[in-house]
């Protein structure tokens, strides 16, 4: 019997011909990362272990992106700690404000994470890189410290669930809608410690931006990783960025899957996940009129150029509704510049939206968009737990950039079709 793409990547990095679900293995890590919240703990554990140097200064990235630009003294101290450690250990990939971006958009853009890699990061949305065909997963800061010392980590090989998307996408339906629909079908624990393998003719047609979005939210279904087999779309994206060699893997035709789940996307319309769970997804047309106070278009899920273009398409010639704040957060400096060069900023400003420097900011209730009691936000982010974006009595509704932009204009949760 053959292996899935996830099993093949893990086997190659464990130096084994074959691995099976449930097997405990130790693998070599191609790249690791942490941010301004998780790196300080990893640095502390690194020093407690008595380590004197990192295993490879070119294979570790520190990306301060959660509380930057620093919102207070505590966050400034955290970033100072990263900065000093990066200098001490000559880390090649420390990304300062002005050169940084939201980590899970920045690293693929920089060609630092690649197809066939094993990538670990002290952030749960590290699974984003599965959109490139990498085995990528989040780990704790202590595990990351061990990786910084040894370049290795252990895993229990996950069983795989194959998701097959067939049919034709309906107007305004994006990768964000597909993953929200999927999580709504299987629940937040429906893929617990499983590899979610996204396949089918619909996935083959998705852009790289949308593939990264789908892989990003695999963790919201409890998955160990999400992954899409790389193809020519991947190659075009990677070849102009890759800083080292890479390898494409694909699942064998006789690979074993714990489940195979098939969806007909003809039946899927733009989705909205109601609080307090990403699994609480509904077709936007099924919702009653729900007034809102804030819209956030950005994050590691949907802050890429294609997302901003989609929002701009709907905001062109329109204005944000009175009483609504619309925040636009490009995910990286390069995306920021490209959006500006394409005239998207002029559209956003004319619509009376606010444009931010790259930051995770409001997604985690960090800053630059905190909600007050009783306020509702439509966000292109990935989580809508109680208190996620501010006060415990506020609410977050997850949606695509298209639904978010339409909602900003109409002042309530709305379908793009209404515009």
**Residue 401 CA from chain centroid, whole number:** 14
Q: Mind listing the pLDDT tens digit for each residue in 337-349?
A: 999 999 999 999 9
Q: Is the pLDDT reported for residue 1 higher than 90?
A: no
Residue 213 forms beta bridges with which residues? none
Q: Distance (Å, rounded) from C-alpha 277 to C-alpha 259?
A: 24
Q: Mind listing the pLDDT tens digit for each residue in 209-227?
A: 999 999 999 999 999 999 9
Q: Distance (Å, rounded) from C-alpha 99 to C-alpha 336?
A: 11
State the average pLDDT for the chain. Answer: 97
Q: Mind listing the pLDDT tens digit for each residue in 304-326?
A: 999 999 999 999 999 999 999 99
Q: Distance (Å, rounded) from C-alpha 354 to C-alpha 363?
A: 16
Whole-number pLDDT of residue 196: 99
What domains sit in the chain, N to C, each tagged with a CATH number? 5-263 (3.30.499.10), 271-418 (3.30.499.10)
Q: What is the mean pLDDT of residues 349-376?
A: 96
Q: Is the pLDDT reported for residue 397 higher than 90?
A: yes
Which residues, 6+ apart, have CB-to-CB distance to 340 below 8 Å?
A: none
Q: Distance (Å, rounded) from C-alpha 228 to C-alpha 179?
A: 13
Q: Distance (Å, rounded) from C-alpha 418 to C-alpha 71?
A: 38
Q: Which of 272, 301, 289 is nearest to 410 (CA)?
A: 289
Whole-number pLDDT of residue 364: 94
Distances (CA, A) of 135 to 30, 157, 198, 235, 353: 10, 11, 13, 17, 37
DSSP-based three-state secondary structure for 370: coil
DSSP one-letter code for 157? P
Whole-number pLDDT of residue 357: 96
């Amino acid at each position: 019997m053959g292996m899935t793409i996830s099993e093949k990547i893990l086997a190659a990095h464990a130096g084994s011909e074959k691995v099976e679900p449930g097997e405990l293995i130790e693998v070599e890590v191609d790249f690791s990362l942490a941010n301004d919240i998780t790196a300080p703990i990893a640095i502390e554990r690194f020093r407690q272990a008595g380590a004197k140097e990192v295993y490879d200064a070119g294979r570790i990235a520190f990306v301060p992106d959660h509380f930057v630009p620093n919102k207070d003294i505590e966050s400034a101290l955290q970033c100072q700690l990263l900065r000093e450690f990066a200098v001490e250990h000559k880390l090649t990939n420390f990304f300062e404000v002005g050169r940084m971006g939201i980590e899970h958009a920045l690293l693929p853009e920089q060609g630092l994470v690649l197809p066939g890699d094993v990538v670990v990061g002290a952030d749960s949305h590290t699974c984003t890189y599965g959109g490139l065909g990498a085995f990528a997963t989040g780990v704790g800061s202590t595990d990351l410290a061990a990786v910084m010392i040894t370049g290795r980590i252990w895993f229990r090989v996950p069983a795989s669930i194959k998701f097959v998307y067939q049919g034709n996408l309906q107007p305004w339906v994006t990768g964000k809608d597909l993953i929200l629909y999927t999580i709504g079908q299987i629940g937040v624990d429906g893929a617990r410690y499983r590899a979610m393998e996204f396949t089918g003719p619909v996935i083959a047609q998705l852009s790289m931006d949308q593939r990264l979005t789908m892989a990003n939210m695999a963790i919201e279904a409890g998955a160990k990783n999400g992954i899409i087999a790389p193809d020519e779309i991947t190659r075009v994206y990677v070849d102009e960025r890759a800083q080292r060699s890479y390898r494409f893997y694909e699942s064998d035709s006789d690979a074993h899957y714990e489940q195979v789940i098939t969806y007909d996307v003809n039946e899927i319309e733009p989705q909205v996940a109601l609080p307090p769970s990403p699994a609480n997804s509904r077709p936007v047309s099924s919702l009653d009129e729900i007034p809102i106070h804030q819209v956030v278009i950005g994050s590691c899920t949907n802050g890429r150029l294609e997302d901003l273009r989609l929002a701009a398409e709907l905001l062109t010639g329109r204005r944000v509704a009175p009483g609504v704040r619309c925040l636009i957060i490009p995910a990286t400096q390069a995306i920021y510049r490209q959006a500006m060069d394409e005239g998207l900023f002029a559209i956003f400003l004319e619509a009376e939206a606010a444009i931010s420097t790259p930051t995770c900011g409001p997604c985690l209730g960090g800053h630059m968009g905190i909600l007050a009691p009783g306020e509702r936000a439509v966000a292109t982010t990935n989580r809508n737990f109680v208190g996620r974006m501010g006060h415990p009595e506020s609410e977050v509704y997850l949606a695509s950039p298209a639904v978010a932009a339409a909602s900003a204009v109409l002042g309530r949760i709305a379908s793009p079709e209404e515009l």
